[in-house]
């Protein structure tokens, strides 16, 4: 039986919140390598294992109102 938590998938461009209430955006998902690249609201980047994502208490979140995208990001969209 699937739970709601299992249904949350890491989607590029979507925002999430971790159990420490840190907001982050998924910037890349590499299924082959089994990793997820994330960028936190403060600009810090990180990587997480897909296996860890499945066990993390991650929740969907909205794009923060005060988030400033990376320089040049508007040009790419």
Per domain, the residue ranges of the chain are 4-61
SS3 of residue 47 by DSSP: strand
pLDDT (mean) for 59-73 = 68
pLDDT tens for residues 16-59? 998 888 999 999 999 999 999 999 999 999 999 998 888 888 88
* 4-61: CATH class: mainly beta
Residue the block writes with tokens 């991650």: 58
Rounded to two decimals, what is the model's pTM? Answer: 0.73
What's the average model confidence in pLDDT over 54-65? 82
| Number of Cβ atoms within 10 Å of the Cβ of 41 | 17
**Higher per-residue confidence, 67 vs 50:** 50
Question: What is the separation of C-alpha 68 from the centre of its chain, rounded to a whole number of angstroms?
Answer: 16
């Amino acid at each position: 039986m699937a739970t709601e938590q299992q249904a949350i998938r890491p989607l590029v461009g979507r925002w999430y919140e971790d159990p420490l209430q840190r907001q982050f955006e998924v910037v890349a998902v590499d299924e082959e390598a089994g990793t997820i690249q994330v960028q936190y609201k403060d600009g810090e980047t990180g990587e997480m294992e897909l296996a860890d994502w499945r066990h993390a208490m991650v929740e969907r979140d909205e794009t923060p109102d005060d988030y400033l995208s990376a320089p040049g990001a508007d040009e790419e969209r």
